[in-house]
Amino acid sequence: MALIRILIADDHPVMRDGLRAAIDQENDLQVVGEAADGAEAIARYRELLPDVTLLDLQMPHVDGLQAITAIRKDFPHACIVVLTTYPGDARVTRAITLGATSYLLKTACRGEILKAIRSAAQGRQVVATEVAREIDSYRGSESLTVRELSVLRLVAEGKGNRAIGEALCVSEDTVKARMKSLMAKLDAEDRTHAVTIAIRRGFLGS
**Each residue's pLDDT tens digit, 86-140:** 767 677 888 888 888 888 888 889 999 999 999 999 988 888 777 776 666 555 5
Q: What average pLDDT does the chain have?
A: 88
- CA atoms of 196 and 45, how far apart (whole Å): 35
pLDDT digits (tens, 9 = 90+) for 134-159: 666 555 556 778 888 899 889 999 99
User: pLDDT higher for 26 or 184?
Assistant: 26
What is the rounded distance in angstroms from the CA atom of residue 186 to the CA atom of residue 182?
Answer: 6
In contact, 158 and 114? CB cutoff 8 Å? no
Q: Is the dihedral of CA 189, 191, 197, 201 positive or negative?
A: positive
pTM above 0.85, yes or no: no
Residue 19 and residue 130 in contact, taking contact as beta carbons nearer than 8 Å: no
For 106, which DSSP code?
A: T
Q: Under DSSP, is residue 9 helix (H, G, I), strand (E, B) or coil?
A: strand
Q: In sequence order, which residues have a C-beta less than 8 Å from that of residue 110 and are 6 or more positions away?
A: 22
Q: Are 156 and 195 in contact (CB under 8 A)?
A: yes
% of residues, the chain, pLDDT over 70:
92
Domains of the chain: residue spans and CATH: 4-137 (3.40.50.2300), 146-201 (1.10.10.10)
